[in-house]
Amino acid sequence: MSEAALTEVRGWRELHAALRARAESLDVSRETLDHLTGLQNGYCAKILAPKPIRNLGRISFDAMLAVLGLKLIVTEDQDAMEKIRPRLVQRKRHTRRIKD
């Protein structure tokens, strides 16, 4: 992974802000994003509005990442794990599979 990280995202608001910032840094119109993603006219403007009118779905999420030239890399948040680890309960594993 030689790519430089643009930002860290720990939730929906940060993801939205990162997508907006990337679209702004590319300096392309929302109409161009609509065309390139294959989404309906005006949809990217609704997704990327300061207060989104529409949310990313399974199709628009993939399309938006591709058109903005982004990918997500999932990594462990050690600070979050330190806080939550004491509350994690191990699951019980069955020794055999139960068939329906």
**Dist. CA 34–CA 86, nearest whole Å:** 45
**Per-domain residue ranges for the chain?**
12-74
30-37 vs 58-67: helix axis angle to the nearest 10? 110
- Residue 1 pLDDT more than 60? no
Alpha helix locations (H) across the chain? 12-26, 30-37, 43-48, 58-67, 78-84
pLDDT at 4: 81
pLDDT digits (tens, 9 = 90+) for 5-39: 889 999 999 999 999 999 999 999 999 999 999 99
Neighbours of 60 (CB within 10 A): 19
Topology given in CATH for the domain delimited by 12-74: 434 Repressor (Amino-terminal Domain) (1.10.260)
pLDDT at 15: 96
pLDDT digits (tens, 9 = 90+) for 68-96: 999 999 999 999 999 999 999 998 887 77
